[in-house]
Amino acid sequence: MRRLVRLVVTSTVVLAGLLPLASVATAAVPVNTVAPSISGTPDVGRTLTANNGTWTDSPTGFTYQWESCTEAWTALSSPTGADSTSWFDVAYGGTAGSELYVAVGVGSSSGGRIITSPDGVTWTARQDPGPDSLKEWRAVAYGAGRFVAVGDYGGSGTERVMTSTDGINWSYATSVPTTTTWQSLAFGGGKFVATAYSGTVMTSSDGLSWTIASSTLDTAPKAVAYGNGRFVVVTNDKAYYSADGDTFTATTTVGSGKYWRDVTYGAGTWVAVGTTGFSSANSTAMVSTDNGSTWTAATIPSVVWWGVAYGDGQFVAVGNGANSIATSADGTTWTAQTTPNLGSYSVAIGAGTTVAVGDPTGGAAGAIATIEVTCTDIGGATNATYQLQAGDQGKQIKVKVTATNGSGSANATSGATEAVGAEPSPYAPVNTALPTLSGLAEVDKTLTADPGTWNAYPEAITYTYTWQRCDDDQGNGCVDISGADGSTYVTGSADVGKYIRSKVTATNDSGSGSAFSDSVGPITKAITPEEPGGGTPSNTFTLRTPLLIGGGIRTLVRVPGAGVVRQNATFRSRGKTRQACVAGSLKVAKTGTYRLRCRLSAAVMNARRSGPVRVTLRTTYTPTGGTARVVVRTVVLSSLKPRFTG
């Protein structure tokens, strides 16, 4: 079980001297628009840092309170009006600010086959459309601005699909081409994909009007999910993948006699869970790191597994019995969680809460299970940083931030860290993001080295710099530059035609580690500034701040005359330098400002699904008949990591 530390930022009321009423401008109390967050690795001995988040109305100060939290799974009963229902699936979604958990299942003839909750704790029964004849709603998903559920035991085909824009009021779909038994549903790439026990697949862009897909799966599909540009379906001994949800390719899974019951995607990995036969002793899991094309076995605790989802940085699998929930950061190594006796079929993660639903029969403590978090203030932990103590191990940490201006105070709380781990053994600094250089590749210009990112324990690191002059940008013929040992370096005449890089050495009490920046160059002579009335072009090769727009990086470039402008970008992934984007050559005929668009590569887009990506953007201007000049900028691409899976 993880220990949670929370930070709170509070705003304080300050009363100024009284002024005449007409001259008083009423300011509002700060309002939090982006929640506080915590940076740092949650291990004993390491230091966490509170990030204030974003606030309106110009806070003048912040205060902090760190919190230690524990979490436990709690069983809940179905709400009134849905007491006899077994819940087959749960999803999280909705418009911003109005998100809901929605669970669907099978109930009595009085209805009650839909329940909703804003927080995973308080649930309300909802009525499905049409007559109260027995129906089984098997799957639910959110996309295209609405919830959609599919099932069987309806009359016509349209009575086997229902939709709702708010999760509360439901109606049947308008066009469903068959009356087959629908088993699973997913949304992604702008469409819903539903699979049936018969192997039939159908698709819809809006959940209302459906079309039969080209592929028919040859064994009864149990689950479909979307991630990383693909739909993946699992069934007995097989998996299928499709880029468009219409045409599927079969692939062999691991072993034989498997009953794969659910599949999900997260952190660059597909994970499926199930059993061999129906015995918990034969529980099984498999993973795919090549987007569902091939699969390898994973070891998972012995439970009859029914559902799996990804969110908040981990996979969560649910099944039947006591301690029937397991978690994993990578889908390969799993940890059993302490839970009541549950009969869970499905799990969804959203709004910081994990919810499992299932069958309340067979001795289960309840049809719904959710994580209950209890937090207490950590005495004396009121700074913007907090060093984790031995007593924090196994807990989670939050921070409450209070923002203050002249009108009052307001607070907001961060999300929780992962469970605090044991104190690591001391080790020397290890580079995790290479140093970078910024500045113009010209004589008499200042280059500045950023040391990059390092992991170490103890965490106190000092940096030293050694600047080098090289024959090319591949690190050939490099020699140390005498006396150049600071974080900045001013280029000189000896650097003309050469490339400059910096070696950064990080040191702590356990030792040192070194890493080289990329090179800047070739260094060119500065062009004489334009004289009044003269004809010499001015040295005005400049860039405005790069902007991320759509699928590319857009930059406005100012050049002093005719020439060619080129742009490319790289990033580091798994120890290698990879292409982030390339812009075509731009020939310019005269002085002016021009727009470049560097389209992002598939590799960097995939990397963004695991978190933010640091990109080195190089823009080169080669004047006609002159020497190339380079401007290097660092751009951080925001994360595309899915917020919720359900």
**345-373 confidence digits (pLDDT tens):** 999 998 768 999 998 766 666 789 898 77
- The answer to whether the 217-362 and 542-637 domains have the same CATH topology is no
**What would the 3-class secondary structure string for 546-592 be?**
CEEECCEEEEEEEECCCEEEEEEEEEEECCEEEEEEEEEEEEECCCE
Instruction: Specify whether domain 542-637 bears CATH 3.40.50.1820.
Output: no
Q: Please indicate whether residue 134 or residue 329 has the higher confidence score (pLDDT).
A: 329
Distance of CA 142 to the CA centre of its chain: 18
Q: Domain-by-domain residue ranges, the chain?
A: 3-73+375-413, 86-183, 217-362, 427-516, 542-637
* pLDDT at 283 (0 to 100): 83
In Å, what is the CA distance from 645 to each residue of 101, 202, 581? Answer: 11, 21, 29
Query: Residue 610: is its pLDDT beyond 90?
Result: no
For residues 536 and 528, is the Cβ–Cβ distance under 8 A? yes
Q: Does the predicted TM-score (pTM) go above 0.85?
A: no
The Cα 184–Cα 163 span in angstroms is 15
| Residues whose CB falls within 8 Å of the CB of residue 52, separated by 6 or more in sequence, listed in order | 9, 36, 62, 401, 403
Q: Please indicate whether residue 384 or residue 154 has the higher confidence score (pLDDT).
A: 384
Q: For the ranges 47-51, 218-222, 256-260, 537-541, which has the lowest average pLDDT?
A: 537-541
For 137, the token pair is: 């709603």
Query: Residue 5: is its pLDDT beyond 70?
Result: no
**386-401 confidence digits (pLDDT tens):** 999 999 998 999 999 9
In Å, what is the CA distance from 416 to each residue of 97, 386, 548, 608, 646? Answer: 20, 14, 29, 22, 20
For residues 142 and 166, is the Cβ–Cβ distance under 8 A? no
Query: Residue 642: is its pLDDT beyond 60?
Result: no
**271-306 confidence digits (pLDDT tens):** 999 988 665 557 889 999 999 999 999 999 988 899
The Cα 569–Cα 573 span in angstroms is 13
* pLDDT at 405 (0 to 100): 93
Number of H helices and number of E strands within the chain? 1, 53
Distance of CA 478 to the CA centre of its chain: 40
What is the second-level CATH architecture of the domain 427-516? Sandwich (2.60)
Q: For the ranges 12-26, 163-177, 258-272, which has the lowest average pLDDT?
A: 12-26
Tokens 């401007």 -> residue? 631
**465-523 confidence digits (pLDDT tens):** 999 999 988 889 999 999 999 999 999 999 998 999 999 999 999 999 999 998 887 88
DSSP classification of residue 526: P
Q: Please indicate whether residue 17 or residue 457 has the higher confidence score (pLDDT).
A: 457
* pLDDT at 6 (0 to 100): 36
The Cα 391–Cα 408 span in angstroms is 35
* pLDDT at 279 (0 to 100): 57
In the three-class reduction of DSSP (H, G, I as helix; E, B as strand; rest coil), residue 265 is classed as strand
For residues 346 and 324, is the Cβ–Cβ distance under 8 A? no
Query: Residue 598: is its pLDDT beyond 50?
Result: yes
Q: How confident is the model at residue 597 (pLDDT cuts 50, 70, 90)?
A: confident
| Residues whose CB falls within 8 Å of the CB of residue 382, separated by 6 or more in sequence, listed in order | 63, 64, 65, 66
The Cα 103–Cα 163 span in angstroms is 13
Q: Closest Cα partner for 173 from 146, 200, 153? A: 146
**Nearest 5°: CA angle at 298, between 293 and 299?**
165
Q: How confident is the model at residue 155 (pLDDT cuts 50, 70, 90)?
A: low
Phi, psi of 259 (to 5 degrees): -120, 90
Helix (H) or strand (E) holding 607: helix 602-608
Phi, psi of 546 (to 5 degrees): -60, 145
163-167: average pLDDT: 97
Provide DSSP, 10-75.
E----PPPP--GGG---PPPP-EEE--EEES--BTT-EEEEE--EESS--SEEEEEEEEEEEEEEE
* pLDDT at 132 (0 to 100): 57
Query: Residue 21: is its pLDDT beyond 60?
Result: no
Tokens 């781990």 -> residue? 421
Mean pLDDT in the chain? 85
For residues 403 and 62, is the Cβ–Cβ distance under 8 A? yes
Query: Residue 193: is its pLDDT beyond 60?
Result: yes
Q: How confident is the model at residue 17 (pLDDT cuts 50, 70, 90)?
A: very low
Tokens 């900028």 -> residue? 633
216-228: average pLDDT: 91
Q: Please indicate whether residue 611 or residue 429 has the higher confidence score (pLDDT).
A: 429
130-146: average pLDDT: 83
Fold of 217-362: Neuraminidase (2.120.10)
In the three-class reduction of DSSP (H, G, I as helix; E, B as strand; rest coil), residue 158 is classed as helix
The Cα 251–Cα 249 span in angstroms is 7
SS3 content of the chain, % helix, strand, coil (to 5): 5, 55, 40
Q: What is the CATH number of domain 3-73+375-413?
A: 2.60.40
For residues 616 and 638, is the Cβ–Cβ distance under 8 A? no
Dihedral of the alpha carbons of 24, 26, 29, 34, in degrees to the nearest 10? -120
Tokens 């899991």 -> residue? 285
> HSE on the CB side for 614, CA within 13 Å?
14
What type of residue sits at position 338? T
**What would the 3-class secondary structure string for 322-352 be?**
CCCEEEECCCCECEEECCCCEEEEEEEEECC
Q: For the ranges 403-407, 427-431, 639-643, which has the lowest average pLDDT?
A: 639-643
The Cα 103–Cα 89 span in angstroms is 6
For 4, the token pair is: 């949670």
Strand-pair category, 146-152 with 114-117: unpaired
